[in-house]
Structure 1
Amino acid sequence: MEDLQKLIERHQYVGRAGTAFIYGILVSIAVNFFWTPGHIYSSGITGLAQLINTLTARYAPIQLSTALMLFLLNVPLFILAWVKISHRFTIFTIISVALASIMMRFIQPVTLTHDPLICAIFGGAINGFGTGLSLRYGISTGGLDIIGIVLRQKTGAKMGKINISFNVLIIAAAGFVFGWPYALYSAVGLVVNARVMDMVYTRQQLMQVMIVTDRPKSVTDSIQNHIRRGITIVHGAEGAYRHDEKAILFTVISRYEMYDLRSAIEESDPRAFVSITESMQIMGHFYEPKL
């Protein structure tokens, strides 16, 4: 059993390392193919690194590259993640940021277009997909992702919304450096980035589940064998058509756990009636697996 657990963990580590590599490629494409040619700033620490690169190129004798600043600016946030989140999460975050910096340095820029709107939309979508994919598989891209996770553990706010709240400064910087039309284009890119991130990072999308069944014990056991969720059981419900006795089960899951819920229902009671709705806010304790 221990050997099997070690094999599973090793497989997860390889998968996370592969995801970090994919993220490094995606963020490099976003920066070198779209944002830099279109004079668009990214969100968070990547955007701040771009700003420092632009300002040092204009006003300083030495230009600090975006790739170098991306890593250096993340160092204090690595410490925050080590203390507040987990050591394993921090190690993979360092790997993903390091790979992004390396890829950004060595993938040669290709100017596909100078149209700022196209650059903002496609750069934001590519970066948002890479960031959401990384978070979905338990690693971070550094920067505001780390701050966002810490704050989300306290407030329950979504990652994309947290990112937008931190990026007003980046938009203003784009306006001062490139002109206010580019600030608006950067804002479009940030919104696209946040929306795509929220679409991909489904662990934070919470769903309320209502199950009507005549096998409450079987369904409850099956769900809790698949996912770690509390369930409230209401006994004594009655079907209006046949007047047979039913029970109603209530629980809350993340969208990421939808497949496991469906498998559990199919195993225990394929004839159960299941209603799933998006949950706007959760008050009280909601278990989240450690990253």
Structure 2
Amino acid sequence: MDDVRQLFERHEYLAKASMAFCYAITVSVAMNFFWTPGHIYSSGYTGISQLIDTMSSRYLPFTIPTAIGLFLLNIPTFILAWKQIGHQFTVFTVIAVFLASFMIKTLQPVYLTKDPIICAIFGGVVNGFGTGLSLKNGISTGGLDILGIVIRRKTGRTIGNVNILFNVFIVIAAGLAYGWPYAFYSAIGLVVNAKVIDLTYTRQQLLQVMIVTERPKSVTDSVQNHLRRGITIIHGAEGAYNHAKKTVLFTVVSRYEMGEFEEAMNESDPDAFTTISPITKIIGRFWEPKVK
């Protein structure tokens, strides 16, 4: 049994390390193929690092490259993640940020296009996909991702929206550095980046599920066997068409869990009437798996 557990852990570690490398590739491609050629600022600490690079090259006798600034800025968030989120999470975050910094420095800019709109949109898509995929697999890209996770646990706001709020400063900086048209282009990239993160990182997207069924015991057991979710049961419902006695069940799942939920419903009561709607915020107890 111990050998199986160790094998599983090694596989998990290898998968996370591979995902950290994939993120490093995506952010370096976004930076060197799109953002740098288009004079577009990224989101979060990456954008702040770009700003430091720009300002230091203009006003200081030395330049602080984006790659180095990115890693240095993340050191305080590494400490926050270690204390507030999880040790394994922090270790792989350090790996992801280090690899990202290394790849940004190593991969030379390729000027596919200098069109700022194209650079803003495609840079946001590439980086947002890499960031969301990393979070989905239990690692962070540092910076605002860590702050977003901590803030979301306390307020319920999504990581994408938290990013947008923090990035107002970066938009203003883009305007001051390159002119106000580039501020608007950078804003487009930030919104695209945030939305792609939310589309990819589906663990944070919560859905309310209402089930009308004649087999409440079977449905409840099946859902709870597949998912660790509480269920509220309302007895005494009645169908208006044939006046059959029914039970209404309420629960909340993440979009990431929808596959397992649908499997549970197909096993227990495929004829149940089920509605699913998005949730913007939850107040009260709601279990979420902790990040290691």
Letter in 1 for 2:55: L
Any idea what SS the aligned residue of 2:237 has?
A: strand
Contact 2:34-2:120 within 8 A present in 1 as well? yes
2:217 maps to: 217
Distance 2:221 2:61 in 1: 66
Q: What is the CA-CA distance between 1:209 and the residue it aligns to? A: 0.3
**TM-score normalised over the length of structure 2:** 0.96
RMSD between aligned residues: 1.3
Letter in 1 for 2:116: P
1:199 maps to: 199
Deviates more, 1:274-283 or 1:22-31: 274-283
1:80 maps to: 80
Q: Does residue 180 of the first structure (1) align with residue 214 of the second (2)?
A: no
1:48 maps to: 48
1:164-221 CA distances to partner (integer Å, 9 max, x unpaired)? 1111111111111111111111111111111111111111111000111222112111
Structure 2, unaligned runs of 5 or more: none
Q: Does residue 38 of the first structure (1) align with residue 38 of the second (2)?
A: yes
Q: What is the CA-CA distance between 1:38 and the residue it aligns to? A: 0.6
Letter in 1 for 2:78: F
1:123 maps to: 123
Q: What is the CA-CA distance between 1:222 and the residue it aligns to? A: 1.2
Contact 2:157-2:281 within 8 A present in 1 as well? no
Q: Does residue 154 of the first structure (1) align with residue 154 of the second (2)?
A: yes
Q: What is the CA-CA distance between 1:3 and the residue it aligns to? A: 4.2
Q: What is the CA-CA distance between 1:44 and the residue it aligns to? A: 1.0
Q: Does residue 58 of the first structure (1) align with residue 58 of the second (2)?
A: yes
Deviates more, 1:74-83 or 1:258-267: 258-267
Letter in 1 for 2:110: V
The 3 A distance-change label for structure 1 pair 140 and 4 is: same
2:249 maps to: 249
Any idea what SS the aligned residue of 1:207 has?
A: strand
Q: What is the CA-CA distance between 1:36 and the residue it aligns to? A: 0.5
Any idea what SS the aligned residue of 1:10 has?
A: helix
Letter in 2 for 1:102: F
1:71 maps to: 71
1:228 maps to: 228
Deviates more, 1:34-43 or 1:271-280: 271-280
Deviates more, 1:279-288 or 1:71-80: 279-288
Structure 1, unaligned runs of 5 or more: none
Identity percentage over the alignment? 65
The 3 A distance-change label for structure 1 pair 221 and 11 is: farther
Letter in 2 for 1:14: L
Q: What is the CA-CA distance between 1:2 and the residue it aligns to? A: 4.6
1:216-260 CA distances to partner (integer Å, 9 max, x unpaired)? 112111111111111001112222333332211100111111011
Deviates more, 1:167-176 or 1:38-47: 167-176
Any idea what SS the aligned residue of 1:282 has?
A: coil
Any idea what SS the aligned residue of 2:113 has?
A: coil
1:130-186 CA distances to partner (integer Å, 9 max, x unpaired)? 111111111110001111110000000011110011111111111111111111111
Q: Does residue 276 of the first structure (1) align with residue 285 of the second (2)?
A: no
Deviates more, 1:203-212 or 1:237-246: 237-246
Distance 1:64 1:113 in 2: 25
1:171 maps to: 171
The 3 A distance-change label for structure 1 pair 200 and 2 is: same
Any idea what SS the aligned residue of 2:118 has?
A: helix
1:256-276 CA distances to partner (integer Å, 9 max, x unpaired)? 110110111112222222111
Any idea what SS the aligned residue of 2:173 has?
A: helix
Please give the residue correspondences for 1:74-153 in structure 2 after superposition, counting only pairs within 5 Å: 74-153=74-153
1:96-145 CA distances to partner (integer Å, 9 max, x unpaired)? 11111111111221101111111111111111111111111111100011
**TM-score normalised over the length of structure 1:** 0.96
